[in-house]
């Protein structure tokens, strides 16, 4: 169960009831009162703090009897009632008087907090607000900006005029740096008020996870995938189990995985499982980065302790590094950042370890004959890394000029694709997207070109690619892209923590997730 804390009234309060709140509030909506309360029933088995979005119902007033029954049967649940009008970003199309009546009845039915948007508060007469305050629930007054993050302090000032029990300011993040404005608002206001502040949108994930760490009274999460009540909302189980929201504190080191798109990255699952297993007080967050400068500004201001980065940032970040390891310099790509004690960023490339480590466990690389299919970023790491280990590397690419260029840079050899079937290799590596989930092309080569004792496919989704299936059917040994993904992540973990990585646990959680997805 989530850890709870008792919130006493803030200095500006009008003496609300004492509330036991977790750091995580699960927002629930439904198409009917029965569906809303059924979802609340399910959520309450794991989470004891919920928000009931009455404005998601066609007729919110019809839910009052359901509310009363639910709250009577669940004395251990703390509930927020929200009935936001359409003019202010909600779903309720009634007038102010109807909104106030619904919120009053929700409070009388047992809801502990009622959420009133600041525009409605400003529209209210003093007598209406006074009546609402006597309904028996704490009052949360909220502000929402659905287009940007700007003027947060002014928004909080508008709310605090009414001396509510909770101040809620919600903006929309257009960049990673927008999270910093939200976190600063929390830090500045949380000593005097019970503050909730969030930036919506995928870029605002940092504020959702780190808000309570900065001093926010709580944060919001969705009931399940597809039932989000706001853009960028994270599933409650993910916030609790992957990001370990309840355990984050000021000593928690923050890492990231940056790129665009980034939502489906498995790196948060991989690294947060490793941090948990090795009892490292750290969390890794997905960072949707539209520019390298946005990422670097967040890295310095938050600050980030380190970051995994994807294309195109792997090359764009190079001029901003204080130093990098020799292999990163030669490859011209960096996938791992570490923040030094001097506040400067240092670059590494662990994609190479992802290729070399699995191979070293199976054969001697010095003198081994290896064909690498592809000439893009993944191929570069493989080719440079294998050449350094003393392997004879032949680069094969459908556009032969690209193979020639990569081979020349890495001091490898190139081979025309039409000559592939006449050769034999110790290892054949697929560094193309062929066979990836959603890829139009299943195989990077024809069956008669599969002429190696060991086949290594860098693609890890699906777990068993068409190439690996074909290789197994011919009795060949195989290495999956999952092993590469785990090994490059294990090397990142070692760079960031100085500890050996829990490879088996990292493999277990990612394999389990990939099996769920298929």
Instruction: Give the residue numbers annotated as catalytic, written as ranges.
Output: 144, 168, 314
Tokens of 179: 């999270």
Question: Residues at the annotated binding site for NADP(+)?
Answer: 374-378, 458, 481
Secondary structure (H, E, C), 424-440: CEEEEEECCCCCCCCCC
Alpha-carbon distances of 313 from 296, 319, 362, 393, 442, rounded to whole Å: 11, 11, 32, 27, 28
Dihedrals φ, ψ of 452, to 5°? Answer: -145, 155
CA 240 to chain centre: 12
Question: Residues at the annotated binding site for shikimate?
Answer: 265-267, 310, 335, 351, 460, 488
- Per-residue b or e along 142-154, where b marks 16 or more CB atoms closer than 10 Å to that residue's CB: bbbbeeebeebee
Q: Is 138 within 8 Å of 153 (Cβ atoms)? A: no
- What length does the chain have? 518
Tokens of 135: 């309904």
DSSP-assigned letters across all residues of 255-283: EEEEESS-TT-SHHHHHHHHHHHTT--EE
- Please give the Cα distance from 383 to 371 (Å, whole number): 9
Strands 336-339 and 345-348: antiparallel
Name the 3-class secondary structure at 232: coil
Q: What's the DSSP call for residue 320?
A: G
Which of 296, 258, 174, 301 lies closest to 492 in space, CA to CA? 258
The angle formed by the CA atoms of residues 220, 225 and 227, to the nearest 5 degrees, is 65
Helix axes 64-73 and 96-108, enclosed angle (nearest 10): 30
- Please give the Cα distance from 362 to 478 (Å, whole number): 10
- Please give the Cα distance from 406 to 467 (Å, whole number): 24
Alpha-carbon distances of 69 from 64, 98, 110, 396, 466, rounded to whole Å: 9, 22, 9, 68, 54
The angle formed by the CA atoms of residues 310, 316 and 320, to the nearest 5 degrees, is 115
Question: Residues at the annotated binding site for 3-dehydroquinate?
Answer: 51-53, 84, 208, 229, 233
At a CB cut-off of 8 Å and minimum separation 6, what does 258 contact? 287, 288, 289, 295, 307, 308, 309, 310, 313
Name the 3-class secondary structure at 285: strand
Q: What's the DSSP call for residue 17?
A: P
Query: Which conformational region is residue 244 in: left (phi greater than 0), alpha (psi within -120 to 50 degrees), or beta?
Result: left
Question: Residues at the annotated binding site?
Answer: 51-53, 84, 208, 229, 233, 265-267, 310, 335, 351, 374-378, 458, 460, 481, 488
């Amino acid at each position: 169960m989530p850890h709870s804390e008792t919130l006493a009234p803030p200095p500006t309060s009008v003496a609300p009831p004492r509330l036991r709140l977790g750091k995580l509030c699960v927002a629930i909506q439904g198409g009917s009162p029965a569906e809303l309360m059924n979802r609340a029933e399910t959520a309450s088995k794991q989470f004891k703090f919920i928000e009931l979005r009455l404005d998601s119902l066609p007729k919110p007033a019809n839910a009052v009897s359901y509310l009363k029954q639910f709250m009577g049967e669940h004395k251990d649940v703390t509930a927020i009632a929200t009935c936001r009008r359409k003019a202010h970003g909600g779903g309720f199309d009634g007038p102010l008087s109807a909104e106030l009546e619904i919120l009053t009845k929700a409070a009388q039915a047992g809801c502990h907090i009622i959420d009133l948007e600041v525009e409605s508060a400003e529209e209210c007469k003093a007598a209406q607000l006074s009546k609402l305050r006597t309904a028996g629930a704490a009052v949360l007054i909220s502000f929402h900006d659905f287009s940007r993050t700007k003027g947060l302090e002014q928004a909080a000032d508008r709310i605090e005029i009414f001396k509510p029990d909770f101040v809620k300011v919600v903006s929309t993040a257009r960049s990673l740096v927008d999270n910093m404005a939200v976190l600063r608002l929390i830090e500045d206001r949380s000593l005097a008020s019970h503050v909730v502040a969030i930036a919506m949108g995928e870029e605002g994930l940092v504020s959702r996870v780190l808000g309570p760490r900065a001093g926010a009274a709580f944060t919001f999460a969705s009931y399940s995938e597809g039932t989000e009540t706001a853009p960028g909302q994270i599933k409650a189980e993910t916030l609790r189990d992957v990001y370990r929201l309840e355990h984050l504190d000021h000593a928690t080191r923050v890492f990231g995985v940056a790129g665009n798109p980034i939502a489906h990255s498995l790196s948060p699952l991989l690294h947060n499982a490793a941090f948990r297993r090795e009892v490292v007080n750290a969390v890794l967050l997905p960072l949707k980065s539209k520019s390298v400068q946005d990422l670097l500004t967040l890295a310095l201001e938050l600050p980030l302790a380190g970051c995994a980065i994807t294309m195109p940032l792997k090359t764009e970040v190079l001029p901003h590094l204080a130093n990098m390891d020799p292999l990163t310099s030669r490859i011209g790509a960096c996938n791992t950042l570490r923040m030094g004690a001097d506040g400067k960023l240092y670059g590494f490339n662990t994609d190479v370890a992802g290729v070399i480590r699995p191979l070293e466990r199976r054969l001697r690389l010095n003198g081994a004959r290896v064909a690498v299919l592809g000439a893009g970023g993944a191929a570069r790491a493989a080719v440079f890394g294998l050449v350094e280990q003393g392997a004879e590397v032949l680069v094969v690419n459908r556009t032969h000029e690209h193979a020639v260029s990569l081979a020349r840079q890495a001091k490898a050899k190139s081979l025309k694709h039409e000559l592939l079937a006449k050769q034999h290799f110790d290892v054949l590596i697929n560094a193309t997207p062929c066979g990836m989930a959603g890829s139009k092309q299943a195989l990077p080569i024809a069956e008669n070109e599969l002429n190696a004792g060991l086949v290594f496919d860098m693609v890890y989704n699906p777990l068993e690619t068409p190439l690996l299936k074909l290789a197994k059917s011919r009795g060949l040994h195989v290495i999956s892209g999952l092993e590469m993904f785990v090994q490059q992540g294990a090397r990142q973990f070692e760079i960031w923590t100085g500890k050996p990585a829990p490879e088996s646990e990292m493999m277990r959680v990612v394999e389990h997730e990939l099996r769920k997805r298929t």
